Structures are given as structure tokens and as C-alpha cells.
Structure 1
Amino acid sequence: MANSLSLRSILDANKLTGPNFIDWSRNIKIILKQEKKAYVLDGRILKELSDDATNEEQEAYRVYMDDLDQARYVMLASMAPNLQKQHEAMNVMDIILNLREMFDKESHTKRFDISRELF
């Protein structure tokens, strides 16, 4: 637990404000990998279980949903308040997709400008 808290302090010190999206995204992945929850970011979404699901399937689904919630809360807690409000009703994948639309283009442009200045 102490390791988890110390790594999460990285996110407190580097909240997502917009221009730092790439760094924030990398930090989120590091934290979730350390907590063994990064698999929820792979885009695979489990379907709701049928009524005849086994106990093992029900337990696996419950763990997945708990990990998905935990990842969502970590992401929201590490955002600036205006971004939290904008994303609080979204699931993990929708948050990531929306943030990429908002900020990833900006980071590509900055990288291009820096490269152009260097060369």
C-alpha cells in the first residue's frame, strides 16, 4: 500500500491541465501497471453476464468492473477541476478518447514545431 500511495503522489504533483497530456497519460499507465489494473486500458470491454453465468465468471466480471472504476477514479483525481467536471460522467475509454481528441493533436503540433526549429 505504501508503494501505491507514493506512486500516486506523482499524479498529485502532475495533474492533467491539457498541454501535459502525454506526460499525464504515461504516468497514469505507470500507476495502473504498478497496481495491476492497466489491462482495463486495452480497450476490451466485458459484456454483461447472462443469468446462467458461473460463479467464476461472476467473480471475474466483478473484479474487472472494480478495476475499471478504480482506474476511472485515479484518472479523474489526477485532473484539473475543469477537466474533472467535463469527464466525471464518462467511462475510462470515453475519457481517454475525448482527451486524445482535445490534446493529442496539440502535442503533435508542438513536436513538429520543435523538430522544425532544430533542423
Structure 2
Amino acid sequence: MLATMSAELQKQHENMDSYDMIEHLKRMFEGQARQERFDTFKSLNACKQGERDPVGPHVLKMIGYIDYLEKLGAPIGPEHQIDLILQSLNNNYSQFVMNYNMNEINKNPAELLAMLKTAETNIQKASPTPILMVNKGKAKGKGKWKGKKKMGSNSNANPKPGPTKALKPKGGVQKEGDCHYCKKPGHWKRNCHAYLEDLKKKKAAAAWVSVDMSQVFFAPDWL
């Protein structure tokens, strides 16, 4: 036993027999081993697989904690080992965990790791491939948006139109002036009584001339 110890421990135990040596070593390292068991078991319970973490390194890490606890004198039962690994998996393996428990499969951690790697491959094949939409060219409406920002923070995004004012002609409204026919103010030519009377007379004279010419055209030969 002394040959396996460091030089400092050999000096402390060179005058002890085997029983006293073992008891002394227990007292020295029992507190340290207890703390290591506590920290290791705490780390094992805190193991959770991330959403995108591969299953292989995650399960191997948990198997390492389980083996180290056994070396520290705190072994975990086989069924409890499997339960700890299954409950640490992410939601992608929920169907696998349900099938494993329903079929009452009995595997050790190494065999379970092989099954999980196969399940991981199937999950990756079944998951849809994300489609990236690439917008070529400039986005529409960017110029308008920038223009709205320049208006200031106090300006409304959608200002309501206010009451519109009637546009007045520059030259003003032209009033009725002197008649070009009778030269009298207050009306235009189209409303002039003298013009309308003369227009009736011209139409009547034109009708009489047309009737008279028709009589000449249709008169008998003896006239």
C-alpha cells in the first residue's frame, strides 16, 4: 500500500499497520469524496439536450458521470440510468421515448446510444428543409418610407385631408358686357331681342323665296 502512495503520504503512514492506514485514509478523503459525489450527481441531473445538440456527445457525457459516480461508491441502478438519459432528451425524441417505454425495451446505456443515433438520422430525414427567400433588387416603398420619416416624429403617419378651398380664376369672373349686335350693355348677342327679331325675319324671308321659286319651277308651259 505504501508503494502506491505519494512520498508525503508514505511518511504519514510508514509507522501504521494496514487497518490504521485505511481508517486514516478514509478520514482524510471521505469528506472530499462526498463533495465530489454531490457535484457529479448534480451535474448529471442538470444535463439537458439542446434543441440542435447532437445526441451522441450528450449521451456520452451522461455515461461518463454515471461511471464516475460508481467509482466514488455511489452506483446508479440500470433502470435509473436509462430513465435519466431519456428524460434529458429534447422534444424531437418524444416519440422515441414513448415507444421505448410502451414496448418495455431493456437496454444498457451503450445500446441505448446506438438506438438514439439511428433515431437521430431518421428525424433529420423527416424534418422539412427550410426554404430561404432571396429578394433580388430593391424593395418597393423604401423611398416613400424614408420620406415619411423626414417629416418629423410629431407628424401623423396618415394625415387626414383638410377642407379644400375653391380655386378662383386669376382673371376673375367675366360679367356680361355690351352686346356686339345692338351695342347696348347688360346682355350678350345670343340674348339680344333685336338680334332674335332680325333672325326670325331672315328665316321667314328665306322661306318665302324658296316657296316662290318652287312655284316658278312647277308653273305650266303657257305662263
TM-score norm. by structure 2 comes to 0.24
Say which one has the larger Rg. 2
TM-score norm. by structure 1 comes to 0.37
Q: Which structure dedicates a bigger proportion of its chain to helix? A: 1
